[in-house]
Amino acid sequence: MDNAHDMIATAAPFDTAKLDRLMDDAGLDILIATSRHNVQYLLGGYRFFFFDVMEAIGTSRYLPVFVYQKGHPENSAYIGNRMEKFEHDLGRISAPIVKAGAWGTLDAIGLAIDHVKKLGGAAKRIGIEAGFLPADARDHLHAGLGDVEFREAHFTLERLRAIKSPAELDLIREASERVVDAMMATFKACAPGMTKNDVVARLRREEQERNLVFEYCLIAAGRSHNRAPSNQLLEEGDVISIDSGGNYRGYIGDLSRMGILGESDSELRELLREVEDVQQVARRAIRPGALGGDIIAAGEAAVKTSSHRAVLDFTAHGIGLVSHEAPRLTATGPVPYAPYDADRPLECGMVISIETALLHPARGYIKLEDTLIVSESGWEAPGDHGREWNSSRLTA
């Protein structure tokens, strides 16, 4: 499967008509994307190695830039690092114009300014990603383009990405499956005397062996609800919660599974079953045409019927190139944003993470998190294994 995604698009690798409509809605003539996730999307999946492993270089930093003119995809330009000329020579960058001549922020945005000026009088209102545009580059952009109105383009780009393509869904499936496989291998390797840091290090290796970029691991063990990796020692009978994000070609596999050093008892099985019951109720609310807020309402209603409702927590959010992206389902989740999709219908190709955690005062932190793809039949759940208690060995 890895080789299938090395193919280079011969036309624009995104829906230009949809982007034009979104830009009309936002009143934009030109779009200047500078976030790595949106640049990747607009380039059809292309990722330079600086996307993952480097940012600072010399006296500045890497800044990829994609310029799009509404109604004229043929004028699209990508500005990259000078070393990306080699990638361009191999035909890996699917943009009509490629300028691989930048080292830092000012020369990158300077090349973007030059390109916008060549587009003539069309550039009256320019969309930028303020949260992903360094201060020196933004100042240079304002000075270089003169009497132009700048507007935030985050929402426009997020809506463009809200419905995933079949190729994107394949990557999300792979990311989810591989993350859970890495967790299963890690649980098997856990033993008394290991630290939480040891477990995270093992998970990192397992994810990397599956061609994932390890992003993070939240880990709780024993009775503690503290999910930071630490030198806390694992003991026989400890429950272990692993919540990890592994990145596969830019797309995030974000799931959570449970392990135990030894065998689970009836109480633990019942507690995990309560978490699972909430997850399954929320799943049943996912289907094309259902309102995004129905997922939140279903999960919260299930929590209220539980005898452990005081220590149960449920939420759901969109996921893809970004954790907590469209669809935006609630304004009361851990990441603050307006619930744009709460009263709008879900569509096939949207991807949603649902998560339920039970913070038991005596038995520890118990959580399941799943990835759901909205499909014609309702939903699909990649990486949907390892949902029970996963027993670890008792000897090192």
Beta-bridge partner residues of 315: 355
Residue 340 burial class via C-beta count within 10 angstroms: exposed 0-12, middle 13-18, buried 19 and up: middle
Q: 378: which residues sit within 8 A by CB, 6+ positions away?
A: 286, 287, 288
Cα 305 to Cα 299: distance, rounded to the nearest angstrom = 10
Contact yes or no for 16/150 (Cβ under 8 A): no
* pLDDT per position as a tens digit, 129-171: 999 999 999 999 999 998 899 999 999 999 999 999 999 999 9
| 214 phi, psi to nearest 5 deg | -65, 125
* pLDDT per position as a tens digit, 43-55: 999 999 888 877 8
Beta-bridge partner residues of 241: 220, 258
Q: What's the angle, vertex CA 202, arms to CA 201 and CA 203, rounded to 5?
A: 90
Cα 134 to Cα 112: distance, rounded to the nearest angstrom = 14
- On the question of a common fold for 2-160 and 166-392, the answer reads no
- Does CATH place domain 166-392 in 3.90.230.10? yes
Q: What architecture does CATH give domain 2-160?
A: 3-Layer(aba) Sandwich (3.40)
- Domain boundaries of the chain, sorted by first residue: 2-160, 166-392
Instruction: Provide the phi-psi class of 366: left if phi over 0, else alpha when psi is between -120 and 50, else beta.
Output: beta
Per-residue pLDDT, 155: 98
For the chain, give the secondary structure using H, E and C. CHHHHHCCCCCCCCCHHHHHHHHHHHCCCEEEECCHHHHHHHCCCCCCCHHHHCCEECCEECCCEEEEECCEEEEEEEEEECCHHHHHHCCCCCCCEEEEEECCHHHHHHHHHHHHHHCHHHCCEEEECHHHCCHHHHHHHHHHHCCCEEEECHHHHHHHCCCCCHHHHHHHHHHHHHHHHHHHHHHHHCCCCCEHHHHHHHHHHHHHHCCCEEEEEEEEECCCCCCCCCCCECCCCCEEEEEEEEEECCEEEEEEEEEEECCCCHHHHHHHHHHHHHHHHHHHCCCCCCEHHHHHHHHHHHHHCCCCHHHEEEEEEEECCCEEECCCCCCCCCCCCCCCCCCCECCCCCEEEEEEEEEECCCEEEEEEEEEEEECCEEECCCCCCCCCEEECCCC
Cα 359 to Cα 352: distance, rounded to the nearest angstrom = 23
Per-residue pLDDT, 8: 39
Q: pLDDT tens digits, the chain, 396 residues: what are they? A: 343 333 334 489 999 999 999 999 999 999 999 999 999 999 999 999 888 877 898 999 999 999 999 999 999 999 999 999 999 999 999 999 999 999 999 999 999 999 999 997 768 999 999 999 999 999 999 999 988 999 999 999 999 999 999 999 999 999 999 999 999 999 999 999 999 999 999 999 999 999 999 999 999 999 999 999 999 999 999 999 999 999 999 999 999 999 999 999 999 999 999 999 999 999 999 999 999 999 999 999 999 999 999 999 999 999 999 999 999 999 999 999 999 999 999 999 999 999 999 999 999 999 999 999 999 999 999 999 999 999 987 765
